[in-house]
Structure 1
Amino acid sequence: MFNWYVGLLALSGVIMLALAALRQGQSNTSRTVNGIFGAVYLGYAFYLAFLFDGGSYLIFFQAFILPVVMVVNFFRNRTPQPKLTETQKAWREYQRSAGR
């Protein structure tokens, strides 16, 4: 169980750092949050894997909610807005003017 936890922490950190490196469709705040938490997750995984001597530790599976939320947010913000053709624009204008 310990090895799975460390592996998931490391994977979450790498994914969040990769999201922070991408510039497309994200605000600077979102990229900064991804970078900070990605570094924290990866650092904690490194600590647990290589520096932790044993003893008791707590596993917080709630910590994996944040990476999921950040990935969902990344893909939701990347969804392009549809570009209307001239015919579609004229049709929408007609519908607005007709009061439909």
Structure 2
Amino acid sequence: MFNWYVGLLAVSGVVMIAMAMAENRQSNVSRLINGILGPLYLGYALYLAFLFEGGSYLIFFQAFIVPVLLAVDFFRNRTPRQKLTATQKAWREHQRSEQGR
């Protein structure tokens, strides 16, 4: 179980670093979060793998929620959003005006 935890931390860290370095439409805040957390995850995995001498440790599976959310944000921003036609814009404006009554 320990080896799996360390491996998942390392993979999460490397993936977050790669997402921070990728040039796509993600926001600067998202890139910054990936750029900060990626090395932290990787560093903690390296610490556990090479410097940790045993004893007790806690496994926080909640720590893997953040990389998943950042990956979802990364791929969501990667796909271009479809532009509305003039007819679609007019229809949406009509619907909004009808709801306001």
User: Shorter-chain TM-score: which interval?
Assistant: 0.7 to 0.9
Q: What TM-score does the superposition give when structure 2 sets the normalisation length?
A: 0.83
**Aligned partners of 2:43 and 2:90: how far apart in 1?**
58
Q: Aligned-residue CA RMSD in angstroms?
A: 2.0
Structure 2 residue matching 1:53: 3-state secondary structure: coil
Shift of 1:92: 3.5
Structure 1 residue matching 2:42: 3-state secondary structure: helix
Question: Partner residue of 1:2?
Answer: 2
Shift of 1:95: 4.8
Question: Partner residue of 2:29?
Answer: 29
**Aligned partners of 2:92 and 2:62: how far apart in 1?**
47
- 2:7 alignment partner AA: G
Residues 44, 82 of structure 1: alpha-carbon distance in 2 compared, 3 angstrom cutoff: same
Shift of 1:93: 6.2
Structure 2 residue matching 1:49: 3-state secondary structure: helix
**Aligned partners of 1:96 and 1:62: how far apart in 2?**
40
Structure 1 outlier segments of 4+, above 4 Å: 93-97
Shift of 1:82: 1.5
State how 1:1-100 maps to structure 2 within 5 Å.
1-83=1-83, 88-89=85-86, 91-92=87-88, 95=91
Shift of 1:23: 2.0
Gap regions ≥5 residues in structure 1: none
Gap regions ≥5 residues in structure 2: 96-101
**Aligned partners of 1:67 and 1:96: how far apart in 2?**
36
